[in-house]
Amino acid sequence: MTDRDLVDRIDRLVHDQLANHDHRSGHDSNVNQDPCPHCGREWHGLAITVRVQQMRHARALDPKYSHAHDHSRVLCAGSPFIGPMPEEVLMLGGFDVHAAWRDMVAAARQAPDRIEQPDPFDAYRTVGPPGDEPPAVGLAGGCDRASWHCPQCGDRAHFLDAGREPNAFAVALRAYAAHIASAHDPSVDDGDDASAFSSRWALPTRGVLWDSRHTVIGRFGPGGSTFEPGTTARDLRGFGGPPPTRA
């Protein structure tokens, strides 16, 4: 093979890669790959450990790090992993966001004051001006503004954050749970499994990070489509990806 032939082969390879840019996938991009079936993160071949997660949060790679010698706790055994998940992984990742929604509505139903009104100093509620386009059905938004729109009765509410805790999404979350409990009394739905309950009320199952008091932590992107977790020392209870299935 001459030098000219080699250069021509390289040119064809580069041309093919550029021509298929929209369908790229590989080491630097998971554009067209399904998320990890176990943890909901982007597809990953290697196991994610506590040490790996720490480096991700720090956005830095320890030059002395070796995955082969990483003995920290495993958070996800890897996307291609087949078989029963290790018990420690199930304990960490087995938080069922569907069950959390149902538990929150049940708690609101049992509360002495069943109709929860948000503190006017923390959030602002309005049904919107005449002709205003309603929010998407379900619960959506972010820390600064959020809304809920009930798929059963069409009632809706908007919330604006005033810069103090709880944030607008946390207030909307609790207010929507209170609405479901007070306006619809979903005790008849208790026989449904948790995922059916989430579907019935159009409750999001991704991008939700909770603490022990069911307060959302972090920031949602436009329409709740993306989520950026904040660094916090609070007692985190779960991340709203699909919970792993026990064998």
- The sign of the torsion formed by the CA atoms of 135, 136, 137, 138 equals negative
The verdict on 119 and 133 lying in the same domain is: yes
Q: In the numeric block, which tokens belong to residue 79?
A: 């996307």
The verdict on 59 and 104 lying in the same domain is: no
* 41: containing domain: 3-91
pLDDT single digits (tens) 140-193:
776 667 788 888 888 888 877 666 666 677 777 778 888 888 888 776 555 557
CA–CA gap between residue 235 and residue 217 (Å, rounded)? 11
The verdict on 102 and 73 lying in the same domain is: no
Mean pLDDT for all residues in the chain: 66
The verdict on 147 and 201 lying in the same domain is: yes
Peptide bond into 166 cis (omega under 30): yes
Higher pLDDT, 175 or 57: 175
Please tell me the predicted confidence (pLDDT) of residue 32: 63
The verdict on 22 and 78 lying in the same domain is: yes
Q: Find, among 19, 16, 44, the residue nearest to 30 by Cα.
A: 44
CA–CA gap between residue 163 and residue 143 (Å, rounded)? 9
Please tell me the predicted confidence (pLDDT) of residue 30: 57
Which residues, other chains included, contact 188 with Cβ-Cβ below 8 Å and sequence gap of 6+? none
Task: Determine, yes or no, domain membership for 247.
Answer: no
- Which run of H or E residues covers position 158? strand 156-160
Please tell me the predicted confidence (pLDDT) of residue 209: 53
Helix (H, G, I), strand (E, B) or coil at 126: strand
When divided into structural domains, the chain yields a total of 2
Domain boundary (32, 65, 91) is at: 91
Task: Name the percent of the chain lying above pLDDT 90.
Answer: 0
Please tell me the predicted confidence (pLDDT) of residue 201: 86
The verdict on 130 and 31 lying in the same domain is: no
The verdict on 111 and 189 lying in the same domain is: yes
The verdict on 36 and 101 lying in the same domain is: no
Contact 205, 185 (CB under 8 A): no
CB count in 10 Å sphere of residue 247: 7
pTM: 0.48
Task: Determine, yes or no, domain membership for 197.
Answer: yes
- Picking from 74-78, 157-161, 202-206, 216-220, which range would have the lowest pLDDT averaged per residue? 216-220
The verdict on 58 and 25 lying in the same domain is: yes
Domain boundary (30, 56, 91) is at: 91
